[in-house]
Structure 1
Amino acid sequence: MELHHRLVRQTINIAVSKAMEDMKSNTKRSLRNLIDLGLLFSQSENQKWFFNAAKKIISNPRNPYNILASRIIAEVDNDTVKKVGLNLGYSSLTYGANKLRNRQESMHCPIPWLLLFDISEASPEFFHLIGNLIHEGQELGIYSYVFCPHEANDIRAICEIAKQFEECLFIFKVPSDLISEQTAESLGKIHNAMISVQVDGADFGRESDRNAFRLLKQNRCLYGFHVSYNEDNMGNVTAPEYIRSAISLGNMFGVYIAENGVSDACRDTVYAFACRERGENGQPLIAMEWFRDMQYISEKILSGDGYMAVNLVKKVYCECIKVKDVLANSLLEILKNMQPCTSS
């Protein structure tokens, strides 16, 4: 199985490299070729459905993805684009998901496809343990990790870990004031990472936000923003001009996270907005509603049991692993002891 995985990954890597080179001269044709490649390697009905839906969207000559792809190729390091896509699309959501399904069936234990680490108390021992947990996570089938650093030194330490796990995707969820010339340079040197910058719900006018985006763009990083929403700011953060401002600052994606106590009606409205925004008639930026989209992905890739998928996503996105409290435990033991929490 491991040899087959290596051969498939290498084949996809070669094909994607060729498509990305072609994209510089013919974006539309190259996007079609990439989608056809995805269909070729699809292993489930859900994956086939996704690529067929993508094929339908890009058949619309006014779809936003031709512009988005052109922006990404021109502004982001091409090795980063290729490795992030390969690690998320193949390692995590295809190969890793298959390993997870097999593990869950044999152990009767739900295992999330993505883990979030909140770095509240960093130390050399902490980061050593993180490396061990990621190594175990790969064995289980977990290839995607979100890190929430609180200090600039944490970013550099995570970058060093990311270099050790080239088949994993690392997502940095950071406040803008942690993005300096030094940290942006460190992030630009690793190619299996995405950066999500925290912004407030008003606009993109804060100097620290604009400076963070400028530095990330300068280092050709793949980045976007995340914003907390509620009934009061929902209209502002989903307005067309808000998205246009984000695009002008180089953002490739935007993640909307519901605050505690937000009504279902508000969540429904923002989710509907995100779906429209990434549809045939949206703008060239991928929008996501954090909880709804992660729940949907978990349901699609892990099992047909909606209740189990809901529990998984709540564990993944609400429960942060406190390494200092579980030093003697393996990752599997940690996951077994994690309690579900609500997104409301």
Structure 2
Amino acid sequence: MGNVKQLIDNAVMKEAFRYLQKDPMKNLPKLLNWADKVMVNDVYRPALQTFREISEDPANNWNILINRFFNELNPGIQKKFLINFMVNAGMAGNGIIQKSKEKYDCNVPWAILFDPTAACNLNCTGCWSAEYGKDISLPFPIMQKIIKQGKELGIYMYILSGGEPTVRKDDIIRLAEENNDCMFLSFTNAVLIDEEFASQVERVGNLMFAVSVEGYEDETDMRRGKGTYQKVMDAMDILQKHGIIFGFSTCYHSKNTEVVGSEEWVDAMIAKGCKFGWYFTYIPIGKSAVPELLARPEQREFMYHQMRKFRTTKPCFILDFWNDG
């Protein structure tokens, strides 16, 4: 990185990480107190205070999540996340983004989402992906160009969608490796995740996964095909074994809302190793769309309240795509 501030921030974060590794939950409050004293930009002070309160309350669900971060993840991945996500995509990157906004007089996003390919290895009910564009993919140089231009604007967070990104395993590993100052999040049906691929992900360290799952076996296989649920569970076990960051990506609809909105199911996903959960609601798209799967108004209201309850009770970062803005 050419930006001096980012280089300094990275060096500071590396030292902080070494200190944290010795005894994470004991040293975190001390580190936060130190950061409060040396902080020159007050914009981060409220967040710092929130983290301090969390770190001092062992019963807090976010405290438990932080514990899970240090206890369950590969140390190299921990380090990559703290530097690439917290510093590059967060603190330092935000400063560059603000300057880019002023320079170009336009909005500059915090993250860029792109589809490496429209191809998919599944044929899910109500999904357009298996019907259109099976041969449409972004050439690798174009993906690199997107990231290069994004970094010039201060963007260090990239989200891969599709299609199924892991259809191009080698290319997304190469993207992560050649842009090792960025953080990548890939949506995936997880069917193609195996030991060899997980080993490569563990090696590069800056690739996370949002794993599509729509409830237990009956609910997931209903849309995604018989046997998919078990393959997803196996993939989660592999990711957890390698200490890789992953979470669940769940589309709720008229047939599964009560299941995926239950505490029992979220607890089951946490037990599998999920560190975050991202909820979407079904939107009919494509010629084979199924309008009957649209969630009813009362189901959408139920999910709205459940997600906000989970945020205060579960050691898992919950996102609500439709209502978080």
TM-score by length of 1: 0.74
Q: Is the 8 A contact 2:113 2:160 kept in 1?
A: yes
Mapped partners of 1:220, 1:248: distance in 2: 14
1:145 aligns to what? 158
Q: Which moved more, 1:135-144 or 1:249-258?
A: 249-258
Q: Is the 8 A contact 1:252 1:285 kept in 2?
A: yes
Mapped partners of 1:268, 1:102: distance in 2: 39
Relative to structure 1, is the Cα distance of residues 66 and 88 closer, same or farther in structure 2, using a 3 angstrom cutoff? same
2:91 aligns to what? 94
Q: Which moved more, 1:136-145 or 1:253-262?
A: 253-262
Decide which of 141, 145, 149 is 1:136's aligned counterpart.
149
Q: Is the 8 A contact 2:160 2:185 kept in 1?
A: yes
1:283 lines up with 2:296 in the alignment: no
Question: SS state of the match for residue 12, structure 1?
Answer: helix
2:112 aligns to what? 115
Decide which of 160, 163, 173 is 1:159's aligned counterpart.
173
2:3 aligns to what? 2
Q: For residues 84-106 of structure 1, what are the alpha-carbon distances to aligned partners after superposition, in whole Å with 9 as ceiling and x for unaligned?
A: 12222221122112211221122
Mapped partners of 2:139, 2:41: distance in 1: 37
1:16 aligns to what? 17
1:71 aligns to what? 68
CA-CA distance at 1:185 after TM superposition: 2.1
Q: Which moved more, 1:135-144 or 1:212-221?
A: 212-221
Structure 2, unaligned stretches of length 5 or more? 119-134, 221-227, 284-293
Give the fraction of aligned pairs with identical amino acids, expressed as a percent: 22
Q: Is the 8 A contact 1:100 1:111 kept in 2?
A: yes
Decide which of 40, 48, 51 is 2:48's aligned counterpart.
51
**How many pairs does the alignment contain?**
287
Q: For residues 42-81 of structure 1, what are the alpha-carbon distances to aligned partners after superposition, in whole Å with 9 as ceiling and x for unaligned?
A: 7343x32222223333433411234333333232111111
Q: For residues 176-211 of structure 1, what are the alpha-carbon distances to aligned partners after superposition, in whole Å with 9 as ceiling and x for unaligned?
A: 212122322222221112111111244689211111
CA-CA distance at 1:116 after TM superposition: 0.9
CA RMSD across the alignment: 2.8
Relative to structure 1, is the Cα distance of residues 252 and 92 closer, same or farther in structure 2, using a 3 angstrom cutoff? same
CA-CA distance at 1:35 after TM superposition: 3.9
1:83 lines up with 2:80 in the alignment: yes
Q: Is the 8 A contact 1:228 1:259 kept in 2?
A: yes
Structure 1, unaligned stretches of length 5 or more? 296-344
CA-CA distance at 1:163 after TM superposition: 1.1
Relative to structure 1, is the Cα distance of residues 61 and 214 closer, same or farther in structure 2, using a 3 angstrom cutoff? closer
CA-CA distance at 1:6 after TM superposition: 0.7
Mapped partners of 1:38, 1:275: distance in 2: 30
CA-CA distance at 1:271 after TM superposition: 4.3
1:273 lines up with 2:306 in the alignment: yes
Relative to structure 1, is the Cα distance of residues 93 and 153 closer, same or farther in structure 2, using a 3 angstrom cutoff? same
Q: Is the 8 A contact 2:57 2:63 kept in 1?
A: no
Q: Return the letter of the residue paired with 2:237.
A: R
Mapped partners of 2:231, 2:147: distance in 1: 32
Mapped partners of 1:55, 1:271: distance in 2: 28
Q: Is the 8 A contact 2:190 2:232 kept in 1?
A: yes
Mapped partners of 1:33, 1:267: distance in 2: 42
1:170 lines up with 2:184 in the alignment: yes
Q: Is the 8 A contact 2:9 2:92 kept in 1?
A: no
CA-CA distance at 1:285 after TM superposition: 1.7
CA-CA distance at 1:174 after TM superposition: 0.6
Question: SS state of the match for residue 111, structure 1?
Answer: coil
